Amino acid sequence: MVDDSGPNGYGDIQVSKILVHPIKSCRGTSVQSCRYTPEGLENDRRFCIVEANSHKVVTAREVAKTVLITPRIEVDENSPHGGVLSISFPKDSGCESFSVPLYPLEEEWERLSDVAMWGNEIDGFICESTFGRSPSKIMSDYLGRPVHLIVKGNTPRPCLPTDTFPELKATTCYQDGYPLLVLSEESIDVLHDEIRARVGTQGVEDKWSEQEFVIERFRPNIVLCGAGPFAEDNFEEISIGRDSETTRKPGILLVSKCARCLLPNVCPETGVRDKAVPYKILMKFRIGIDRQNKMAPCVGCNGVPLGNGMIEVGDSVNIRKIGTA
């Protein structure tokens, strides 16, 4: 039950987790603090993997084992590249770790203008490593197909307007559509109840009687606590900071509900796709949430920051505007 003692009928809301995913569909990193810009959390989904021939983005929807690739950001303020992104693979893969410059000089690498994702053509550069075999060869060996590791170029990638924000002017990197994903952690408790009520039916295996569903499967950026299950459905604009800062921090617009696909069915620890959880469960109680996409199950909301700032675990969340849908 939501505490109605706070502003707008909500209690004390805080940031409980911050997750950065440097490479699209690869393992995320939980951090205590992170800078953000209007394009999202710093270094979130700046990199992606593409098919070598078609330049189509490869995701865990099609190749589940991508979630087992572990990228790690190593900042070096004395480096002309700002540091490196180090990439490692499961021990039994036979693939060696490698590093690439975090912010390459554009003239150093081959540029692509046709990285293909959701019908869009996005720019990027084919990554080269600081030593050893090329990232393309190592990634190709791991995934069993010819691929490249790509870093986003400087050409802005516009976000589509939404029903709530038809005049939206925003850009992003290799996120599915918008810079941020915001989700309340209490939503997972409700999902657990729904899963366990269906064990033994609809392909829900007995293991889900005890197994925990981790929020990382939904790949959020900002996890909230204190507002209640799926509370973000009702927010249109929030701000985040220490108690005295929230009124002057840049706002974050929650521009649309996030329609879910089968990617959360993939376990981030094993890379194995579950045949039912959570997609079949969500189809039972989370459709009809988005009036423009009524048959898609929705979890979390897509966000667009209105400026630059810093976010930390434990920061307070101020609800600036409640949504109308």
Please report whether residue 1 resides in a domain: no
DSSP assignment of 195-234: HHTTTTSTT--GGGGT----GGGG--SEEEESS-TTGGGG
Please report whether residue 17 resides in a domain: yes
Task: Quote the distance between the C-alpha of residue 223 and its chain's center.
Answer: 11
Alpha-carbon Rg for the chain in angstroms: 20
DSSP assignment of 165-201: -TT---EESSSSSSSEEEEETHHHHHHHHHHHTTTTS
Encoded amino acid at 127, one letter: C
Please report whether residue 121 resides in a domain: yes
Name the token pair of 105: 């000089």
pLDDT at residue 307 in the model: 96
253's CB contacts (< 8 A; 6+ apart) are: 165, 168, 236, 237, 303, 304, 306
Please report whether residue 78 resides in a domain: yes
Say which DSSP state 244 is in.
T
The CATH number linked to 169 is 2.40.33.20
Name the token pair of 124: 């990027």
pLDDT at residue 180 in the model: 98
Which regions of 233-308 does DSSP assign to beta strands (E)?
A: 235-241, 251-259, 298-305
CA distances from 129 to 4, 88, 136 (A): 53, 13, 9
Please report whether residue 2 resides in a domain: no
Query: pTM for the full model?
Result: 0.94
CB atoms within 10 A of CB 79: 13
Name the token pair of 262: 């089968």
Report the distance separating Cα 282 and Cα 218, nearest Å: 12
Encoded amino acid at 278, one letter: P
Name the token pair of 26: 């690869």
Report the distance separating Cα 292 and Cα 273, nearest Å: 28
pLDDT at residue 8 in the model: 57
CB atoms within 10 A of CB 51: 15
* Domain hosting residue 148, numbered range: 7-322
Per the structure, how many domains does the chain have? Answer: 1
Name the token pair of 249: 């921090």
pLDDT at residue 241 in the model: 92
Each of the 325 residues of the chain gets a pLDDT tens digit; together they read 334 444 456 779 999 999 999 999 999 999 999 999 999 999 999 999 999 999 999 999 999 999 999 999 999 989 989 999 999 999 999 999 999 999 988 778 999 999 999 889 999 999 998 788 999 999 999 999 999 999 999 999 999 999 999 999 999 999 999 999 999 999 999 999 999 999 999 999 999 999 999 999 999 999 999 999 999 999 999 999 987 677 778 999 999 999 999 999 999 999 999 999 999 999 999 999 998 888 999 999 999 999 999 999 999 999 999 986 5
pLDDT at residue 2 in the model: 38
Q: How many CA atoms lie within 13 A of 120 on its CB side?
A: 19
Is the Cβ–Cβ distance between 240 and 314 less than 8 Å?
no
